[in-house]
Amino acid sequence: AQKVTQAQTEISVVEKEDVTLDCVYETRDTTYYLFWYKQPPSGELVFLIRRNSFDEQNEISGRYSWNFQKSTSSFNFTITASQVVDSAVYFCALSEARPTQGGSEKLVFGKGMKLTVNP
Amino acid sequence: DAGVIQSPRHEVTEMGQEVTLRCKPISGHNSLFWYRQTMMRGLELLIYFNNNVPIDDSGMPEDRFSAKMPNASFSTLKIQPSEPRDSAVYFCASTNARLAVAYEQYFGPGTRLTVT
């Protein structure tokens, strides 16, 4: 069975601090995809990144970076020089990639981690 | 391009009433998902469709919940009769699935349901 664990439930930092959000996953498949979503106080869920299991290269997008390590089944997310606008709940998610009637597999979400960035 | 559209955005109803939530996925997407989010249970998948066909409804709480997707551009989630414990934010999401590839899901703004 698939499982995503976000051990941290809530983190509070001061603006300009770096913060890392942990994500550990479990799956039996060799082909799978990992995702991060952001849910700001306004409530919508915003897609941040998708990574497949064959690509372990770290990715950087502005102040955001992601560290994917298959050896530890982790897909951690780091925000550098955090800003107040980064305050949100962040979700890590996992999807297997087996074909199912030509369509999608479901996403398994972690419980989410609430990040508060104080000025 | 328009994103996933959900209506209504807010719904307040009395216990026992029927509630219908609506979703229009992104044009061209062939998979649609219904989620429920509460403080206690987090984000739960209720049901999802591929090419308008229900694939997994194991997350539907009970027989009071039903979902349909009559065509590629419209889906409904119905609760009949509604109960206070159904109060939650209901999200619809869609994606453009390909064989053996998982793509990101795009979420609608959600419907906040309050059952009194």
Residue B103: the pLDDT is 80
Per-residue pLDDT of A52-71, as tens digits, reads: 888 888 888 999 999 999 99
- How is residue B13 written in tokens? 């109803």
Residue B100: the pLDDT is 59
Q: Taking 70 as the threshold, does the pLDDT of residue B1 lie above it?
A: no
Residue B99: the pLDDT is 63
At residue A86, the 3 state secondary structure works out as helix
Which chain B positions have a beta carbon within 8 Å of A31's beta carbon? 100
Paired with B54 in beta bridges are B49
Paired with A46 in beta bridges are A38
Between A50, A98, A105, which is nearest B104 by CB? A50
- H or E element, residue A5: strand A3-5
At residue B85, the 3 state secondary structure works out as helix
Q: Which residue has the tokens 């982790």?
A: A74
Which residues in chain A (20-39) have CB-CB distances under 8 A to chain B? 31-33, 35, 37
**Backbone phi, psi, residue B18, to 5°:** -85, 140
Average pLDDT, chain B: 93
Contact A100 B55 (CB under 8 A): yes
Residue A104: the pLDDT is 63
Check residues B101 and A96 and name the one with the higher pLDDT: A96
Per-residue pLDDT of A75-117, as tens digits, reads: 999 999 999 999 999 999 998 766 555 556 788 999 999 999 9
Contact A98 B31 (CB under 8 A): no
Cβ–Cβ < 8 Å for B99, A97: no
Q: Which residue has the tokens 């994917």?
A: A68
Cβ–Cβ < 8 Å for A43, B109: yes
Bin B30: left if φ > 0, else alpha if -120 < ψ < 50, else beta: alpha
Count contacts between A and B (CB, < 8 Å). 76
